[in-house]
Chain A
């Protein structure tokens, strides 16, 4: 994508009004273009200020304030120390599983983004990309019941979040090793009871080992796990390289 195209998409992007494919294409451009990222950061507050145009309707009932104060008092006090790197994404997500679906969307993504931010901080990557990832994930998932999926990640440098709706999964990852030559990251859909494995999408990552993707879930196929491995080339029928991320459905 060239800058002119990106700049034409930005106003709709900051209003969350792009289609998923456009948003993801724009995201790829923003990952490599500082000028367009700056432009996006300038436009976002303009879009946000539209909320001020809502007509005044008075105050919410006093019960609303009581509800807020009692809910925050009931929340566990989070630890102040930074989360450990290893699987730091799990805990906030796991804690949210019983919450209502709507809450999961906003709080779950919030928690995931905070964790990703911490991880990325450590890797000294700019934070605005995470915001972009959040936008793309949100855009993709809005309106669909979704669940965070627990992940098993052995490499402490890798962070990932995975959300699944009935039809799709969306994943944001950072910290994967850069790829060389024809190598790819390959997804696999696995039935752990029968041992049957089918290949899914293959993907590459940016210079920071990061990216965000969305895939359809396989139809007409039994599976209870999804795994990501690094392979020397795409088109393999079984995982041969190291398995880096495993998701349990």
Chain B
């Protein structure tokens, strides 16, 4: 069986049946994405490699709790990576100054060699998310990024940015709803 030809759902199903090569295929497909997110959150490549490894081991252990109704595999993986990375951030009490607010404008490279729909979809979705974020008013974008990449609560964001709590709440809500609108438009165009 050529694992690189299987879609994500088929691979996760195999992983739930303890097929190690299926996990390897998911790793090959998404480790770069997972690693990029981990680096963005913890700000350190060595630590981010640990987070990435732990996350794929978690996927292995928890694969039977994943179902397609819970969303795309990649979204699930990203949430595993994010939680693991934020745990690490909190454990070390190290918040790389500015890392959560800085937008990395480096050009996207083609992350994966595979030509599968899942990958193409992730690449396109990635571009959409980045362009939507870049199009948000800066305070809204900052509120979303401090929560998502910095693991901060609204109250912590208010303190860190010297903004009234109510304003932070409004910004976060407007920003996320705008993202939903744009992603929905993207999905409609796709299907």
**A residues touching B (Cβ–Cβ < 8 Å)?**
8, 11-12, 14-19, 42-61, 63-65, 67-69, 71-73, 75, 77-78, 101-103, 105-107, 110-111, 113-114, 117, 131, 138, 142-143
Contacts and interface: CB of A to CB of B under 8 A. Distances in A.
Interface string B31-49: 1110111011100010011
B21 to A, nearest CB: 9
A51 B32 contact: no
Contacts of A14: 176
| Chain B residues touching A, range | 35 or more
Contacts of A64: 31, 35, 49, 52-53
Contact of B84 (A46, A48, A106): A106
Given A60-B35, A106-B84, A52 B40 contact: no
Contacts of B84: 102, 106
A60 B83 contact: no
Nearest to A71: B57
Interface of B: 18, 20, 23-24, 27-28, 31-33, 35-37, 39-41, 45, 48-49, 52-54, 56-58, 60-62, 64-65, 70-72, 75-76, 78-84, 86-88, 90-91, 103-106, 108-109, 111, 122, 125-126, 129-130, 133, 144-145, 147-149, 151-155, 157, 169, 172-173, 175-177, 179-180, 183
A17 B31 contact: no
27 contacts: A8-B173, A12-B172, A15-B172, A17-B157, A17-B172, A18-B153, A18-B154, A47-B176, A48-B79, A49-B125, A50-B179, A54-B40, A54-B149, A56-B108, A56-B109, A57-B35, A57-B40, A58-B35, A60-B35, A60-B49, A75-B60, A75-B61, A110-B62, A111-B61, A114-B65, A142-B87, A143-B91
Contact of A106 (B36, B83, B130, B154): B83
Main SS of chain B's interface residues? helix
Given A8-B173, A75-B60, A105 B87 contact: yes
Main SS of chain A's interface residues? helix
B106 A71 contact: no
Contacts of B23: 68-69, 72
Interface centre among B57, B145, B154 (most CB of A within 10 A): B57
Contacts of A17: 147, 152-154, 157, 172
Contacts of B88: 102
A71 B179 contact: no
A107 B58 contact: yes
B183 A55 contact: no
A117 B106 CA distance: 41
B29 to A, nearest CB: 12
Contact of B82 (A51, A56, A57, A73): A51
Contacts of A117: 65
B148 A47 contact: yes
B39 A110 contact: no
Interface centre among A51, A114, A117, A142 (most CB of B within 10 A): A51
Contacts of A111: 61-62
Given A15-B144, A17-B154, A17-B157, A51 B37 contact: yes
A107 B53 CA distance: 13
Contact of B173 (A12, A107, A138): A12
Contact of B129 (A49, A57, A67): A49
A55 B108 CA distance: 7
A16 B19 CA distance: 32
